[in-house]
Amino acid sequence: MAVTLAIHGGAGNITPSMMNKELEERYTASLQGALNTGYDILRNGGSSVDAVIAAIMVLEDDPLYNAGRGSVFTKKGLHEMDAAIMDGRDLSAGAVAGVRNIKNPIKLAQGVMLYSGHVFLSGKGAGEFALNQGLEFAPDEYFFNKERYDQWIAIRDSDFYQLDHKDDNLKGVAHNPDHKFGTVGAVACDEHGNLAAGTSTGGMTNKRFGRIGDSPVVGSGTYANNETCAISCTGHGEYFLRAVVAYDVSCLMEYKGMSLHEACEEVVKNKLKRFGGEGGLIAVDKHGKHEFCFNSAGMYRGVKSSEGLEKVAFYGE
């Protein structure tokens, strides 16, 4: 069994033409930093849950991604964030949706799992719980990003919503293929064979009506079970919700005896793609084997394991 950590920073139309050397270096350094932070916990005997939380917090603190500090703007010009964590040992989970001014939503999700007696909290109630737990809040200014602000301004007076930002495509709306998804996530297998998965996102630009995607929904965007696998998804959330993607991968392993690779390929490359779902996932099984699986042009991703594997990548292979 390998001790393994895998992370993602979003999937979509990520191609060499939309990147430059400086941007590649920024993403490489960021992903590597998150990998190192999470893997150090695993290497020192820490739990998969703690490693996942630590890696995601690094990505939430980086404005490159649509999570935490880099979250996109809603229709009202606010930041509403979602996150979830799941422990494969006993299927315990914590999730939050529509939270505001929480510096690290993944920490709040962990608090829900450990201390609330519940699984899923939302909005103001989740904020009250964060206060009770003494979690760190941040002012609106902390979450302000000029690039995302300009992108929101371009579509705020329309009924369009945008899956994520792209510098040269401020008109990008839900059906436009020229976009990327900046949701972040991590999965891990620790030295005891325990699995964990976590996901964090700012959702869609110009989203309305308190929209929630797949990221905080156990079984759709996030899932972990020691008997099968740990999964974190990124993509067009409505499709991932309808396909119950993360749990579907686990079910194919549990009930059909598929390998991690076979199950991921079936769900992402076949079932999800058949009805228009774009994006991908990262996964690890109880043996520490990992998978990067996506049907988009690319996915920001990285992996580090006790078998000497260490890799950061962006584009399709």
pLDDT 10s digits, 12-65: 989 998 889 999 999 999 999 999 999 999 999 999 999 999 999 999 999 999
Which ranges of the chain does DSSP label H, i.e. alpha helix?
Answer: 21-43, 48-60, 105-111, 123-133, 140-143, 146-155, 237-243, 245-256, 260-264, 272-274
Beta strands in 129-212 (DSSP E): 184-189, 195-201
- Pick among 3.40.50.2300, 3.60.20.30, 3.20.20.70, 3.10.20.30: CATH of 4-315: 3.60.20.30
Of 4, 74, 183, 201, the catalytic one is 183
In our burial notation (b when 16+ CB lie closer than 10 A, e otherwise), range 32-69 reads: bbbbbbbbebbbeebbbbbbbbbbbbbbbbbbbbbbbb
Q: What confidence tens digit (pLDDT) does each residue in 160-209 have?
A: 766 653 333 333 344 333 456 789 999 999 999 999 999 999 998 888 88
Provide the residue ranges of all domains of the chain, joining segments of one domain with +: 4-315
pTM score: 0.94
In this predicted structure, what is the pLDDT of residue 158? 80
Neighbours of 20 (CB within 10 A): 10
**201 catalytically annotated:** no
